[in-house]
Structure 1
């Protein structure tokens, strides 16, 4: 079953690349959505190929893969597995690291978590006693625009 990508809308002001010679053109979001932006947008941001630091291919600092990634939402499932002491310690740790508001947004699933953020949280969840294979409440496919 193919998962639907939930953020296919190009962000406002997202830079497009019109390079025809870049070896990564077929795999980069900046190029992948360029035809759509050029067709539909009245104004747009473009990567400057004349800039002294401009590079193509693997050396490009602006490269963004056009392969969707699996983002996670919500920690209530994982936190439900923790003992009371671990629950409190985990909550306090994340509140100290972020803010109370940010913690609750992450816990409720209001904020999608990138694969890197998931890996960091998964390690932390394991430290605090979560053993489930799929600790997050839900998953979705998203482009990583930046």
Structure 2
């Protein structure tokens, strides 16, 4: 691992942890897809692995639903200050149950305490839940980190 860059080390780590990989050579997105890149680092000691179904609708197209771009994105981290003291309890309750409905109860608490990062799409869903509940102020998360959207 001496001459390896950080990205290669992360790809190898994901491969060792059972990340779903892809081997569709004809895919137009493969050069920037984490699933393809991780597949290139899968150790030859693995006799089985999880792989993208090449027959799944939309796979290996410019709109592949399984593609995970190799660019870092901005994750929110924590929601302990998202629900403010001047927020009506009704709004807090509706949003909390809305997030649980989108994910599950365990994930909600992990998102809230920051032990699970909140991906960009879910951040927008949370903002929409607030708007739907009548809250017009800016939705603030505890912090943000840049990482790959594995």
> How far apart are 1:136 and its partner, in Å?
0.8
Partner in structure 2 of residue 93 of structure 1? 94
TM, length-normalised to structure 2: 0.65
Contact map agreement 1:70 1:139 (CA 8 A) in 2: yes
Partner in structure 2 of residue 114 of structure 1? 119
Evaluate the alpha carbon distance shift between residue 144 and residue 123 of structure 1 in structure 2; reply closer, same or farther with a 3 A threshold.
same
Unaligned segments of structure 2, at least 5 residues: 1-5
Contact map agreement 1:71 1:112 (CA 8 A) in 2: yes
**After the TM superposition, which residues 13-92 of structure 1 pair with which residues of structure 2 at under 5 Å, given as runs?**
13-38=18-43, 41=46, 43-47=48-52, 49=54, 51=55, 55-58=59-62, 60-80=64-84, 82-83=85-86, 86-92=87-93
Alignment size in residue pairs: 134
TM, length-normalised to structure 1: 0.66
Superposed structure 1 runs of 4+ greater than 6 Å apart: none
Unaligned segments of structure 1, at least 5 residues: none
What is the rounded CA distance, in whole Å, between the counterparts of 2:97 and 2:64 in structure 1?
36
Out of 132, 138, 142, the position equivalent to 1:131 is: 138
Evaluate the alpha carbon distance shift between residue 95 and residue 137 of structure 1 in structure 2; reply closer, same or farther with a 3 A threshold.
closer
Higher mean Cα deviation, 27-36 or 118-127? 118-127
> How far apart are 1:29 and its partner, in Å?
1.3
What is the rounded CA distance, in whole Å, between the counterparts of 1:24 and 1:140 in structure 2?
25
What is the rounded CA distance, in whole Å, between the counterparts of 2:96 and 2:48 in structure 1?
41
Contact map agreement 1:78 1:125 (CA 8 A) in 2: no
Q: Between the two structures, name the one with larger relative contact order (CA 8 Å, sep ≥ 6).
A: 1
